[in-house]
Amino acid sequence: MGRVTSRHKVVRIDLDGEVTRSIDTVAGEEPLEVRVNGETFTVTMRTPGHDVDLAHGLLRAEGVVTRREDVVSARFCSDLDTLNVVNLEVPDRGDALAATSTRNLASLGGCGLCGTTAVDAVDAVVTVRPPEVVWEAATVAAALDELQARQSLFAKTGGAHGAGLAVVSGGQPLALVREDVGRHNAVDKVLGGALVAGVPTEGGLLVVSSRASFEIVQKAAVSGVAVLACVSAPSSLAIEAADRLGVTLVAFARDRRMSVYTHSHRIPH
């Protein structure tokens, strides 16, 4: 497995000051190949660490597994020079395909690669809509503050996204926090970590230090998350998907302000 961080020489140029030389700490990024029953499922670029959680999250988001028990084993391929290949044994899923990811939607036919196809594909995998729970706006804001405080990799490098999960019966603090150079990977790590640890995601609050993209809504919906709160802007397809899939989508959630785009009844106002 590679390093979570690495050190690199850097020349700093200040147009109103000096040119200085120093050493920077940056977030690590390496490929991870995820195999299902020995066959390549996908390859993703990620920050090494919590790779088994990441693999579980990917398979959960794609509808390949739904429970922790669906995965018999998860092992790194130790015969390789680096531990950048992880294999999950999933009985009766030797033909597993990434059914919902936009990188594979073209094979689904229908109207071709478009927003409707993407949302339809996710809708086919989501078997249960998120429960009707209430998350106070102050709780959402506090969860985002806690996420920021627990982003140790970002504090060191300034180059990592974070994702955190609060559960319905758990209150504060966040049950899980994960970081990665990729915002989607951070979400897969936290939701996959919940799957591995048996932490319930249904009705939960997912907070993410990024914009609200379609893929993140997808991952939240498949795991039964009720409220997804992101610090930056939403995309049009993220709003469309959240509305259809029953997820409360919160964006621009920072400085104790937030914009609720879908299913706002879950956040009293």
Q: Which residues are annotated as a binding site?
A: 252-257
Alpha-carbon distance values, 156 to 24, 28, 149, 188 (Å) = 9, 12, 12, 22
d(CA 159, CA 149): 15
Closest-CA residue to 42 (of 22, 28, 57, 21): 57
Angle at which helices 236-245 and 115-125 cross, to 10°: 30
Q: Is 99 exposed, middle or buried (0-12, 13-18, 19+ CB in 10 A)?
A: middle
Kindly state the DSSP code that residue 94 receives in the 8-state scheme. Answer: T
Beta bridge partners of 207: 164, 229
Annotated catalytic residue, options 77, 111, 114, 230: 111
Assess whether 230 carries a catalytic annotation.
Answer: no
Catalytically active residues are 111
